[in-house]
Amino acid sequence: MDHSSKVLEATAANLAHCAELLRGDEVVGMPTETVYGLAGNALNEVSVRKIFAVKGRPLLDPLIVHFSDLAAAEAHIETNDSVRQLAAAFWPGPLTMIVPKQASIPDLVTAGLPSVAIRVPQHPVFRTILERLDFPLAAPSANPFGYVSPTRASHVAHTLGSRIQAVLDGGACDFGLESTIVDLRNPQVPVILRHGPITQAQINQILQVEVTAHSGASNDTAPQSAPGLLTKHYSPRARVTLLAHGETLTADAALDPGIAVVCNQQPTWHTDQPNIFWLSETGELNEIAHNLFELIQRLDQQDYQQLCIEQAAEEGLGQAINDRLRRAAAKLKAE
């Protein structure tokens, strides 16, 4: 069924309407600079339960709470110098920090943990809504749990349109990948839990300490310290097979009409084949990240049985791209 009527242009009247929905404990699809989020009142358990129910998200997977600025966040968290330094450098923007929470943040938001993921978003539509409200917004990606994150309002309408009243259209997301998550529960030992648009090197430079990256396997049955850490995530219906950076398929595989082949940049082979796609003309990482989820969503709606996707170079933003691809391709023991 077509739910495009749920997509609302970001006019003053529609912004006021969506703010009123949020005050009434409803949830709304909203754009951020990373991906589209499913927003609800982070301080109200009725709204928070709706987010989990609409997504089909398990309660062990916590939500990110979005504030208008650091001062607004400090009323609900325990802060420290590292938080202030990173906020000054990267907020508003695609960086999420894990910090100890105060009692005002419901345990339901944080999978029962005493810490919370917080962010100040950059997107003007999201910021305008926050300015109209006297509460922060919990907002995971606006998609069914485990599916590819949405980067356009139409993606949200296609997958969740029957379950929500409105999706604010803010255009295509700038980054196309979820925020970087850094764990600052122990500010002396910062750890990147999820790679994203803000790189490990950038965080190192601001904090002037060695920031490590979490590399351990996730316990998928325990409360997660941050969203996006489950083994299998960001997955389309089609089976995902990963190619090494620079690897190409054999001619037989490339010519199989049931397989979509996705390259980093425009290849020099079989470019006339309808099942050959590329994320960037030149292989530029920002462009690959921006286009990745949008292309996977489009190919998944074309009923390919398999997507063969080339990984990016494992550096900088490429680490975030490859993290999403590995989770999309992961097979769980129960499968």
State pLDDT tens for residues 82-92.
999 999 999 99
Which pLDDT belongs to residue 333? Answer: 44
Question: CA distances (Å), 55 to each of 40, 52, 290, 330, in order?
Answer: 12, 5, 23, 20
First-residue to last-residue Cα distance in the chain: 29
Pairwise CA distance, residues 21 & 198, whole Å: 32
Six-digit token pair at 15?
């912004």
In whole angstroms, what is the distance from residue 265 CA to residue 61 CA?
34
Q: What is the pLDDT of residue 253?
A: 67
Chain center to CA of 238: 20
What is the three-class DSSP state of 314?
A: coil
The reported pTM is 0.94
The CATH 3.90.870.10 portion of the chain extends over 4-213
Helix (H, G, I), strand (E, B) or coil at 317: helix
Maximum CA pair distance of the chain?
A: 60
What is the predicted pLDDT for the residue at 303?
A: 84
CB 168 within 8 A of CB 28: yes
Question: Which residues, given as ranges, of the chain have pLDDT below 70?
Answer: 1, 215-218, 250-253, 270-271, 331-335
Domain(s) of CATH 3.40.50.11030: residues in the chain:
239-329
> Could you tell me which residues are beta bridge partners of residue 177?
none
Give the three-state DSSP class for 200: helix
Choose among 271, 273, 322: nearest CA to 281: 271
CATH class of the 239-329 domain in this structure = alpha beta
Angle, helices 124-132 vs 12-23, to 10°: value is 50
- What is residue 315's DSSP assignment? S
- How high is the pLDDT of residue 330? 87
DSSP character at residue 132: H
Check residue 223 and give its pLDDT: 87
Instruction: Outline where the chain has alpha helix (H).
Output: 12-23, 45-55, 70-74, 81-90, 124-132, 153-160, 200-207, 251-254, 285-300, 317-329
Report the pLDDT value the prediction gives residue 109, as an integer from 0 to 100: 98
Q: Which CATH superfamily is domain 4-213 in?
A: DHBP synthase (3.90.870.10)
pLDDT at 250: 67
Tell me which amino acid residue 248 is.
Answer: T
SS3 35: coil
| Cross-strand partners of 260 | 307
